[in-house]
Chains A and B, each alone.
Chain A
Amino acid sequence: MRIAIAAALAATLSVVGAPAQAQVEIGVINSLSGNFAAFGERYRTGLQVALDEINANGGIKGQQLTLSIQDDRSEAKSALAAAESFASKGVPLVIGSYASSITGPLAQFLTRQKVPLIVLGSADDSITKPGSPWVFRAKHNSTIVAKAYFDYFDHLKNTKKDVPLETVAMLYGNGAWPTSLAKEGKRLASERGYKVVGDQAYDQGVTDFRPILNRFRGANADVLYIVSYAEDGVAITRQMREVGLNAKVIAIDTSAALPSFVQQVGESADYVATAVSWSQDVKYPGAQELYERLKAKAGGEPSFYEAEGYLALMVAADALRRADPKSRESVREALAATNITTPVTTVSFKSADGFQGQNPIRSLILQIQDGKHVTVFPEDLAAKPPQHPTPEWSSR
C-alpha cells in the first residue's frame, strides 16, 4: 500500500509550481483518476524516470525540462480542457493519454491547434491511421500487435511441426482496443490459413465466462486468442482451468502483461502468452538497467506501461534538443525526423500502409514461465525459447 495522500500532494505541487526562467515545460495529459487510473499511475512513473534522466544529462540544451501534468479524469472533455490550456500556454508539445476515446478527440483538437502530440498510451489504429502530421506514436498499435501474435503462432507451428495449429478461437471485450485487435486478428487468421472456430465478445463487467469457454471447448481450438480488459483476465484464466478448456497456445492480451496477473492466478498463469512493447529481459542495450530504475521509482514490479511513459518523454526530449522549443512547427519537424535508440525500442516515425507518424516498433511476445514473464519471441530478441505446446489442465 502506498502513502497515497503524500503522493497526491507531491503531484499537486508539481502541477502548481510555476515555471521559472530557463526551463522547457511540456504538457502531459494523463488519467490519474477514474477508470484508467491503474494505467495512469504506471505512465507517470515512467515519465518521471525519463525526466530524471534527461535533467541529469543536461536537460534540453542546458535548460531544465519540467512536466506540467494534468489529470483527465479518464474522460474526453477534461482532457480537451487540459489541452486547450496547454495550447494557450505555449508548451512546445503535449504528451497524452491512455484510452482511445480520450486520445482520439485530443489528436483532432491538437492537430487543429497545430500543437505536436506524442501519444502516451492509446494503441488503437485509428489514432495514427489516417493520423495527422501533428500526431506521433512511438508505441505499438492494433495492427502491429495482432501481427506479432500471428507471427508467434506461425513460428510455433514451424518449429514444432508435429503439433498442428490450425484453428483459432477468439474471445474479446467490446471496448475499442479489444475489438480492433480482434478484427485485425480475424483478418490475419484468414490470410495465414487459420480457421476461426470461435468468435465471442463480452461487455466490460462480465464476471462469468463459462458459457463462452464451454462453447470453445466444443470447438476444439488449437489457439485461444483472448483480448481482455485489465481486470478480468484473472477470472477468464481461472474459469478456463475450471471448465477444462485446453488449447495448445493460450494468448491473453492486456491483463496477462500486468505483474499482478501472475500473483492472482498462480500457477495457472504458466504458458500464457501476451504481447508487449517492452520487457526487462529483451535483448536491447540498457533494458535491464531501465528495469531497475523503473522498479525503484514504482516501488513495485514495473510493466511495459512504465516503459511506454519513459519512451514518450525520451522521444519528446530528443526532438526538443534538435528544435527551437519556441516554435511548434520546428518541434513537429524535429519529431518527424526522429531517429533514436532507447532501452525501450528504436524510434523513427514512418508513413506507410495508411499510417502516419507511427513508429514501426517491434512487439514482443512474453510467456509466463514458472511464474515469471519471459520474452520468447521474436527469436533474435528472446531470452528463452517458448514452452510449447501448453499441456492439458488435467496433467498440470
Chain B
Amino acid sequence: MAGIDIFLQNVANGVLMGGVYALIGIGLTLVFGVMRTINFAHGDFVVLGMYSAVLFNALLGWDPYLSLLLAMPIGFLTGVIVERFILSRVIDAPPESALLATLGISLIIGNAILLTFGGEPRSVQVSYASSTFSIAGVNVSMVLLLAGIATVIMIAALYALLNRTEIGRAIRGTAENRLGAELVGIDTRRIHSIVFGLGVMLAVMAGVTLIPLLFATPTNTGAVFTLKAFVVTVLGGLGNVGAAIAGGILLGVVEVLGASYFMSEYREAYGLIAFLLILLFRPEGLFGRTVKRV
C-alpha cells in the first residue's frame, strides 16, 4: 500500500475508534454536564454492561445486540436507584463526597463481578468479530462500524430527548442553573435521578455494544474506560452531547495516528496531551458553550 492509502486507513480507523470512545464517553458527558460530579464508577457501569451481555449470551445464547433490550431498562433502573439512595444524599455535601461515593460504587461493582464471574477475562464470540468490508480501498471493521452506528443513534436519540421534550428542557435548565430551575418549578432531584439513570443506561449500552469487539475483566477494565470517558467529555465540551462524538473522534484520530507514526508505547499519552491542551487553551471544549472555569 502506498503511504497515502495507509494514512487514509489510519484516519478511518481513528474515526471508527473515536466512535467507540464517544460511546463510552457520552453517558459521562451527560452526567458531568448536569450534576458536575466526577463519576469514577462510569467505566465500571460500562463493564457491568459487558458482563450482562456475557451472561445473556451464556444463559440464553443471545447476540449482544439482542441483549440490549433487557440491559437498557436494567441499566436505567440501576442508575436511578444509585442516585436516589446514594448520590442524592451527598449532592449538597462538599463536592469530593460525590467523588468518593462513586469510588466506593466502583469498588463494589468491580468486586461483585469478581465474586460472581471470577477473575478470568471475558468476551463474547460473534461470527462477525473480524469481518471487514472495503470502501475505496479502505478496510472498515464490521464491529467498529456497528459500534459507530450505535453511537450515532444514541446521540441522536439523546439530542432529541434534550431538545424536543419537556423533560429535556428541564434537564438543560438544571444543568445551566440548578437554583434557577428550582425557582421555575422544576423538581431538580427528580431530574438528577433521571439524568443519572440515563448516564448508567448509556454506559451499559456502550458495554453491551462493545463486548464483541473488546474484553472485560472485573477490576482493571473499568478504570481505563473511566479515564477515556473523561478525556472525551473534556475534548468535546459540555454544552452539547453531540460534542461527545467530536471529542471521541479527536481522541481516536490522535491516538491512532500517534501510535501509527510515532512511538506506540506512548499511545495513551497522545490523547492525554490533547486533553491537557484543550483543557488549558480552549476550556469550553471543541464545541462546548459553557466555560469550565466554574
Residues of A within 8 A of B (CB): 1-2, 4-5, 8, 33-41, 174, 200-208, 210-212, 214-215, 218, 230-232, 234-235, 238-239, 241-244, 255, 258, 260, 263-266, 268
Contact = CB atoms under 8 A, between A and B. Distances in A.
Given A40-B119, A205-B268, A241-B130, 8 more contacts: A206-B267, A206-B268, A207-B215, A210-B141, A235-B213, A244-B139, A264-B122, A266-B125
Contact of B125 (A38, A205, A265): A265
A8 B115 contact: yes
Contacts of B223: 205
Given A33-B111, A242-B132, A211 B259 contact: yes
B10 A214 contact: yes
B177 interface: no
A210 B256 contact: yes
- Closest 8 pairs (CB-CB, A-B): A38-B119, A231-B121, A37-B119, A205-B224, A241-B130, A201-B265, A211-B259, A211-B260
B214 A218 contact: no
Nearest to A208: B17
A244 B139 CA distance: 10
B165 interface: no
B10 A34 contact: no
B125 A39 contact: no
Given A218-B1, A234-B121, A201 B13 contact: no
Contact of B115 (A4, A205, A207): A4
Contacts of A36: 119
A206 B132 CA distance: 21
16 contacts: A5-B115, A37-B114, A37-B118, A38-B120, A205-B220, A206-B268, A207-B214, A211-B257, A230-B217, A231-B215, A231-B221, A234-B215, A238-B130, A238-B213, A260-B120, A260-B121
A211 B114 contact: no
Nearest to A5: B115
Contacts of A200: 264-265
B37 interface: no
A230 B121 contact: yes
B264 A208 contact: no
B173 interface: no
Contacts of A230: 120-121, 217
A35 B220 contact: yes
Contact of A1 (B20, B117, B217, B259): B117
A206 B125 CA distance: 19
Nearest to B216: A231
Contacts of A4: 115-116, 118
B97 interface: no
B6 A263 contact: no
Interface centre among A2, A37, A255, A258 (most CB of B within 10 A): A37
A205 B221 contact: yes
Given A211-B13, A214-B9, A260 B122 contact: yes
A286 to B, nearest CB: 26
A35 B121 contact: no
Contacts of A244: 139
Contacts of A234: 121, 123, 215
A121 B35 CA distance: 45
A239 B268 CA distance: 19
A235 B221 contact: no
B58 to A, nearest CB: 8
Interface centre among B116, B117, B217, B256 (most CB of A within 10 A): B217
Contacts of A41: 118-120
Given A243-B139, A264-B125, A211 B256 contact: yes
A34 B107 CA distance: 10
B215 A235 contact: yes
B256 A34 contact: no
Nearest to B257: A211
Nearest to B58: A1
A36 B119 CA distance: 8
B287 to A, nearest CB: 24
A203 B132 CA distance: 26
A234 B54 CA distance: 15
A203 B265 contact: yes
B129 interface: yes
Given A203-B267, A214-B9, A35 B122 contact: no
B209 interface: no
B255 interface: yes
B51 to A, nearest CB: 11
A360 B111 CA distance: 38
B193 interface: no
B212 to A, nearest CB: 9
Nearest to B256: A211
Contacts of A265: 125
Nearest to B212: A238
A204 B220 CA distance: 9
A8 B111 CA distance: 12
A327 B260 CA distance: 58
Interface string B247-258: 000000001110
Interface string B214-234: 111111110110000000000
A267 to B, nearest CB: 10
A169 to B, nearest CB: 12
A203 B122 CA distance: 19
Contacts of A33: 111, 114
Given A37-B218, A214-B10, A264 B123 contact: yes
B113 to A, nearest CB: 10
A238 B121 CA distance: 15
Contacts of B1: 218
Given A214-B6, A234-B121, A263-B125, A242 B141 contact: yes
Contacts of A1: 116-117
